[in-house]
A and B are shown apart, each in its own frame.
Chain A
Amino acid sequence: MFTTNNNIYLYIAAGCFAASFALYLLKARASGLFALIAGFCLYSLYLAGRAWIPGMFLPNPMVEGPYLLPWCIGVIALVMAVGRHERWGIALVPLLLFTAFALVYARGIIPPTPNKLTPWLVAFFVPEVFAHACFYCGAVFAAILLAGRDRTETFHKLLVWGFVLYSVAQVTGAIWCFLGWGNTFQWGPRHMSSAATWLIFAAYLHLKYIPGWNVRRRAWFAIAAALVVLAVTNSSYLHEMNFPRIGG
């Protein structure tokens, strides 16, 4: 069931997410939440199906950034909805955008080398992609605040937890890198962009204690930082689209 035609789950999940957003805008919040849950379950099935693309279970394709990101944003939207956050539907905006990206992204899997067959890979990618999801959702909530539609500092909370998760990824990534490549940090594009991203959000955390950086200025900073993450990660994803792939 999973090895063939599992792409259908992705297409239906995308439809559910779009329906959820439309219902949210039409103030049918309960129906919107139901559509979100349905979409999330189908998307989870799609991710599970990706693990069987090679004809055996392999978790690597499940945690590939472009595919895991919408799932992580879905979790954030669900947590907000269940926690009765008034504007949970705003998280559906990045969810729709990144699901659209997943729809057009390369379906196959990048064949893994032996040093990618480890639970440390999952322990690295899951918190890293969750952190990206927090940064993107944070940027959207920051934009809503700047537009005068939100008075809470939801974006700050998202950025703080994004930073914590990103730090977790730095530790698990360092362990994985040492076991697989013999260094905790490498002078390569992947590690240097991660270090830069971590420093940017560390700088953001300090803004709260600097006079003159009011909530609006910090919101602008959150949007700019998320755009940097978007540019860096997507250039990497687009590059990986050209890697030799199998299946899918």
Chain B
Amino acid sequence: MIKKIWNSLGDIRLSFWLLLAAAVLFFTGMLHSSLDFSYFRAMNEMRIQDWLARELPARPGANWWLLPLLAVLFLLGVNTVICTINRVTALMSGRARTDYRFIVSLFPSAIHILFITVMIGHAVTITTGIWTRVPLAEGAAIRVDPSLPALTVKKIEDSYFPHGSLLSNRIMKTNVSLIGDGGEEILLSYLDSIGYGGYRLHLDMVKDKIPRHRQRLLAQIKKDDETCNRAERFRSAERKRDPSQKLLLLAISDPGLPVILTAFSLILILMIWYFIESFRKRGDNQ
């Protein structure tokens, strides 16, 4: 009985259908999130159990696909582990174990183990990650965690694209200088995060979203402005931040990140190596 369950759970046909089921559920999620982008954006900075506890009862129509997706991914993990154990056992009981081809033949199993590792990394991220957003303003004291000392925002400096380019009125870079309680300076800019007290500190900017019907109305007003309101045109030329663009500090604790990136990078190396060997072998046979 146990062997029958083991074999059923480790069947490659089950792998195929689980992969397709997960794809279908991700597409379902894609449709829901494209219909309500800002609603699902909030999910990126919440632990999944908190999201499900709050949002599944509140909006079951938008979130119903999440539980089946998690269940399918869990089953896919179980299936992958059993398939890998079966394959490695079969390989180990066979031929010489020092042969180069034998080592290469183990790569698919290693890739599957690493795939499980990536999934575990994601599971760790979505269940234990912490994302905190703090608005930034010059001179303000901010706290990313109650257990950490406050930081003071010393300076926020925007730099713009060069004069003469079509992007000259747009922000290219923002440098933020934070001062710790010991007087140490922390420099931050977009894409250049800093480690602080177990968190990664990022800069982010949000823009207030305007509903589509209001966008049309504003576009009409702006069109009128282009002909009669020159002040509006000069506002861009002064290269000042748009009031709707708000600068935020994003403090992240993501224990799954190193696991995900290391395992996925190893998958790539082994996959490329395996397929090159596999096509070469086929070429030799032909």
Contact = CB atoms under 8 A, between A and B. Distances in A.
Interface of A: 53-56, 58, 111-115, 117-118, 120, 157, 160-161, 164, 167-168, 170-171, 174-175, 178-189, 192-193, 195-197, 199-200, 202-203, 206-207, 209-210, 232, 246-247
Given A54-B166, A189-B30, A192-B30, 6 more contacts: A112-B167, A120-B191, A187-B29, A189-B34, A203-B16, A206-B12
Contact of B275 (A53, A118, A160, A168): A160
A183 B275 contact: no
Interface of B: 12-13, 15-16, 19-20, 22-24, 26-27, 29-31, 33-34, 37, 40-41, 43-45, 122, 125, 131, 161-162, 164-167, 170-174, 190-193, 200, 202, 204-205, 250, 252, 254, 256-257, 260-261, 264-265, 267-268, 271-272, 275, 279
B23 A187 contact: no
Contacts of A203: 15-16, 19-20, 23
Given A182-B202, A182-B252, A246-B167, A114 B257 contact: no
A192 B165 contact: no
B148 to A, nearest CB: 18
Contact of B205 (A112, A114, A175, A188): A114
SS of B interface (majority): helix
Contacts of A182: 44-45, 131, 200, 202, 204, 250, 252
Given A200-B23, A210-B13, A184 B261 contact: yes
Contacts, number: 148
B271 A196 contact: no
Given A54-B167, A167-B267, A189 B33 contact: yes
A186 B13 CA distance: 29
SS of A interface (majority): helix
Given A114-B172, A178-B257, A209-B12, A171 B33 contact: no
Nearest to A175: B261
B271 A53 contact: no
